Structures are given as structure tokens and as C-alpha cells.
Amino acid sequence: MKRREFLTASTGCACLMMERAGWAAPASPGPVTVGALKSFMKEGLDTRWVSTHGFFLVRNQDHLFAVSATCTHDHRTHVMGRPGGDKLVCPNHGSQYAQDGTLIRGPARHNLGHFSIHVDDKGQVVVDTSRLLDQAEWGDSTAYVKVE
């Protein structure tokens, strides 16, 4: 095996092992189109973008928002949640967060962030993973979209 082939194979293997252990795969930050606003009718946690883009979508009554999946303890590990579940749990040291990212139990000391979210002119929901909002900004118009 040539050096380049070895490096490619070993890097892929390491990424797979990291993903299985809950480590976040690096995703390039930026806008992610997640679908038409009218397709988010179901209440609760949507986990479809955790492994690819590092966020959960949460519908809470008429608000839809994007919660970062990156644990605030090590800033790398993805927390895990089940669709329809009410808690997000870090597989590393057991920190727990509510569905909206509020810290329930440490060792993490901070809430999960929210990503900026908006509806574009075609009615598509777009999450901007380059813009992380802290809790003081969760009520801002860029932190959620209204779902009828």
C-alpha cells in the first residue's frame, strides 16, 4: 500500500471510529436548506441533520428552531437525542440538555447554542451554521421561524 492510500484509508477509519463514539465530524459552516416550512408540522425533535451538519431542528408549538448538537463540555462531541424524545444526552460524560438546549445536568456548564434560521423567498427553511446564537439571543427574530 502506498503512503497516500494508507493515509486516506486510516483517516477514513479514524473518522468512522470518532463518529461511532459520538465525536462530531467537521462540517463546513454555512447555510443549510432543510425543506419547505409547511413540511415541519410535527412537534418535537428532528435528528436528520445531526451527523451531517451538527444540529437538531425542534418544533415547539408554533416555533421552529435549530439547536447545535455540539456538547459545550468539549466543543466536539455530538449529543444524542431520539426523535420524539425530550432530552439530549452527551455520550462522553453524560451531560444532559433539554430539547431547547438548556443544560439540565453537567459536567458541561453551558447551554447548547442555537443557529440562526430563516425562511427564504421560496418558502424553504434555511439554517445558518456559521451563526451561533447564545441564550440571550434565543428570542430574536433570527433565532426561530413561525410555523402555522
Identify which of residues 74 and 128 has a Cβ nearer to ligand FES in the complex: 74
Interface with ligand FES, residue 129, by CB under 6 A: no
Cβ-proximal residues to 94 (8 Å cutoff; 6+ apart), any chain: 105, 107
Retrieve residue 22's grid coordinates.
459520538
Q: How far is residue 108's CA from residue 74's CA, in Å, rounded to a whole number? A: 8
Determine the size of the site formed for ligand FES (CB under 6 A): 10
Q: Please, what is the minimum distance in Å from the beta carbon of residue 34 to ligand FES?
A: 25
Q: How far is residue 95's CA from residue 90's CA, in Å, rounded to a whole number? A: 5
Q: Please, what is the minimum distance in Å from the beta carbon of residue 83 to ligand FES?
A: 21
Identify which of residues 95 and 129 has a Cβ nearer to ligand FES in the complex: 95
Residue 139 amino acid letter: G
Retrieve residue 139's grid coordinates.
428570542
C-alpha radius of gyration, the chain, whole number: 16
List the interface residues with ligand FES, window 8-47 (CB under 6 A): none
List the interface residues with ligand FES, window 56-75 (CB under 6 A): 71, 73-74
Identify which of residues 30 and 107 has a Cβ nearer to ligand FES in the complex: 107
Are the C-beta atoms of 129 and 32 separated by less than 8 Å?
A: yes
Interface with ligand FES, residue 87, by CB under 6 A: no
Contact residues toward ligand FES (CB under 6 A) are 71, 73-74, 77, 90, 92-93, 95, 107-108
